[in-house]
Structure 1
Amino acid sequence: MLGRTALVPLRSITFLSLLIAFAVVSILVASGATNDLDSRIFNAITGSRTYSVDLMMVGITTTADIFPIYFSPLLIIAFILIVRKRSRRVGAVLMLVILVTALASLQLKNIVYRDRPDYEFRVEGLDYKVELDTIGTHSSSYPSGHASWSTAFSLVVSYMLRERRIGRMSIWMLLWLYPILISFSRVYVGAHYPMDVVGGMLLGLIVGNFMARIFKLHTSS
């Protein structure tokens, strides 16, 4: 199961369910079946903005930016782990997981092309431009790159820290709040529709789990 153990066997009903769920969501999005629901939820979220929440969402969503690479918080964390001898293997796997998830997301954007919301996010007194998690000129909305690689990141890190606690709260539980907040922030700043981030989180779970299993991260703890 996902959660405390974080990783699931590749030949399991759980992993197969993730693949099926992602395929179903992708088909529904590509067919336009989710457009009405997406628009309703998107308008409800962006229509209830406040200045203080604007600033908070900008801060949250920026932590998952990976372009430019040298200024990516997630990749910097992976690099620091690589530099440290004791965590070198985990850092290398984490770096690969983030980059492979990003590449998978970019490829799927070309396959399931979807226009982004026609929305311009502006905050008074703040010079901020929403990163669209793309390379080049195309701007496909599905799946959300930020949602996918933040989920993959949290999956790997929560697994490695699954026995650590802060008071009575397990660290892995806190770490799973991160991709949820990132996903909400992507809709809030107008970069994605809700189903874009749902697909992104599913993709992150699939790729993150696959990569961690392939590189036998579960044997290093």
Structure 2
Amino acid sequence: MPHVRRWPYVAVLVFLATIALGLVAAHTSLIQPHELAADRAIQTDTRTGWLNTVMLGVSDVASPVSGLAILALWCGWLLLVRHRPVQAVSTFLVVAVGWNASEIGKLIVARNRPPALYSLDPEIGSNSFPSGHVAFIVSAAAAAYFLARGTRWQRPAGLAGFAVVALVAFSRLYIGAHYPTDVLGSVLISGAAIVCLTGVWHAWLLPRLHLVPYLARFGPVSGSAVAADGERRPEPAG
């Protein structure tokens, strides 16, 4: 994971700004009418039969059930196949912390879903802000980028992560499950949570990782095999 300077201040400020955005969007008329108009424009101008199927499929891939399966398989591969316990733990924490931060936002903001009249997959309840689907994909993209840092895959991972986040965010607007500020809020609140995690990781978690029972059986958790920031050193070419 990267070192983020002044991480407590950055994390708290971004989190509070995100919650403020959500409360204004949910409980005033300053933003919501414009967002509803934007949703309607997307749904009426771009919907076609084949694209409906694609967007519903994209949304399903980032759903809670699929997200849990992806996270389990990813961390299991890092731990059992690649024998990189530090990376397995850090990947799990980045995704879990960033993803679950959206649940905190949902509880505080309690924003109702967009009207179901134009929705392809109606969802009801006061859990619209922020989007959990987008929060998962933002967190997964961040975890993949962290794993690729310092290797030739760093730039491709960053570009691919940006593209996938944009695709999932658009899918949630396209099917009528969220407002634009819901997907923006996911990026912000997950980012704030991950920034906070990076500080805790370097200050407290990584130096104590060797104390976790049985973790060292899967691979090195300290010493020269692990970089100073807890990441894999770039592998030599060839």
TM-score tier by shorter-chain length is: 0.7 to 0.9
Other structure's SS at 1:176 match: helix
Name the counterpart of 2:133: 146
> What is the deviation of 1:13?
7.3
Q: Map of 1:91-130 to 2, 5 A cutoff? A: 91-119=88-116, 121-122=119-120
Q: Which is worse superposed, 152-161 or 9-18?
A: 9-18
User: Given the alignment of the two structures, is residue 220 of structure 1 paired with residue 214 of structure 2, yes or no?
Assistant: no
Q: Is the 8 A contact 1:143 1:200 kept in 2?
A: yes
Question: What is the alpha-carbon distance in structure 2 between the residues aligned to residue 176 and residue 17 of structure 1?
Answer: 23
Question: What is the alpha-carbon distance in structure 2 between the residues aligned to residue 170 and residue 181 of structure 1?
Answer: 16
Name the counterpart of 2:23: 27
Structure 1 residues not aligned, in runs of 5+ = 123-128
Q: Is the 8 A contact 2:94 2:142 kept in 1?
A: no
- Are the structure 2 counterparts of residues 142 and 95 from structure 1 closer, same or farther at C-alpha, using a change threshold of 3 Å? same
Identity %: 23
The ranges of structure 1 where at least 4 consecutive aligned residues each deviate by more than 4 angstroms after the TM superposition are: 12-17
The two structures have a TM-score, normalised by structure 1, of 0.76
User: Pairwise CA RMSD of aligned residues?
Assistant: 3.0
User: Given the alignment of the two structures, is residue 189 of structure 1 paired with residue 199 of structure 2, yes or no?
Assistant: no
Question: What is the alpha-carbon distance in structure 2 between the residues aligned to residue 170 and residue 68 of structure 1?
Answer: 24
User: Given the alignment of the two structures, is residue 59 of structure 1 paired with residue 46 of structure 2, yes or no?
Assistant: no
Structure (1 or 2) with the greater helix fraction = 2
Question: What is the alpha-carbon distance in structure 2 between the residues aligned to residue 6 and residue 148 of structure 1?
Answer: 20
Question: What is the alpha-carbon distance in structure 1 between the residues aligned to residue 126 and residue 175 of structure 2?
Answer: 15
Question: What is the alpha-carbon distance in structure 1 between the residues aligned to residue 99 and residue 9 of structure 2?
Answer: 25
User: Deviation per CA, 1:117-159, whole angstroms, max 9, x where unpaired?
Assistant: 122544xxxxxx57x6xxxx95411111111121122112112
Q: Which has the larger radius of gyration?
A: 2
Other structure's SS at 1:174 match: helix
Structure 2 residues not aligned, in runs of 5+ = 207-227, 232-238
Q: Is the 8 A contact 1:150 1:204 kept in 2?
A: no
Counterpart pick for 1:73 among 70, 73, 86: 70
Q: Map of 1:39-50 to 2, 5 A cutoff? A: 39-47=36-44, 48-50=46-48
